[in-house]
Amino acid sequence: MEAQHAKKSEEKVVVPLTVVDTVDAGMRSSGIVMPKYGICKICRVPLEYNSETDEVYCPICGRVYDTFVKPYMEAEYPKSDMEEETIQVHRKISLADRYSIESEIRRKHLREAKEIIRRAAGALGLSANNVVVSTAQELFARYLKIQKTRSDSLEITVYAVFLAAARNLGYTITEETLLSALKKYPPQEMKKLAKQIRSKRREITSLLKLRTSLVGEDRDQPIKLLEMYRQRFKRVPSLIKHVEAIIQKVNELWQKAKNDLLRLNKIPKSIVTALTYVAAILVLPEEERIKIRQFDIADIFQTTPITIRDILPVIMKYLTPEEQQIVKSCMRRGRRSIKRKQKQYR
Is the pTM for the entire model greater than 0.95? no
Please list, in sequence order, all residues whose beta carbon lies within 8 angstroms of the beta carbon of residue 155, skipping any fewer than 6 positions away: 116
- Please, what are the domains in the chain? 2-93 (no CATH), 104-207 (1.10.472.10), 221-340 (1.10.472.10)
Q: How many CB atoms lie within 10 A of CB 15?
A: 14
The CA distance from 317 to 211, in Å, is 34
Query: What pLDDT score was predicted for residue 211?
Result: 65
pLDDT mean for each 10 residues of the chain (346 residues): 49 43 39 63 75 71 56 38 38 70 87 93 84 90 88 92 85 83 86 90 87 56 79 86 91 91 84 93 91 89 86 94 91 51 44
Q: Distance between terminal CA atoms of the chain?
A: 78
Q: What sign for the dihedral angle of Cα 182, 188, 190, 196?
A: negative
The CA distance from 70 to 41, in Å, is 17
Helix ranges restricted to H, the chain: 2-10, 25-29, 95-98, 104-123, 131-146, 154-168, 175-182, 187-207, 221-229, 243-262, 268-283, 286-289, 294-300, 305-316, 321-330, 338-343
Query: What pLDDT score was predicted for residue 249?
Result: 92
Q: How many CB atoms lie within 10 A of CB 322?
A: 8
Contact 293, 332 (CB under 8 A): yes
Q: How many CB atoms lie within 10 A of CB 81?
A: 6
Query: What pLDDT score was predicted for residue 250?
Result: 93
The DSSP symbol for 46 reads B
Q: 93 φ, ψ to 5°?
A: -85, 130
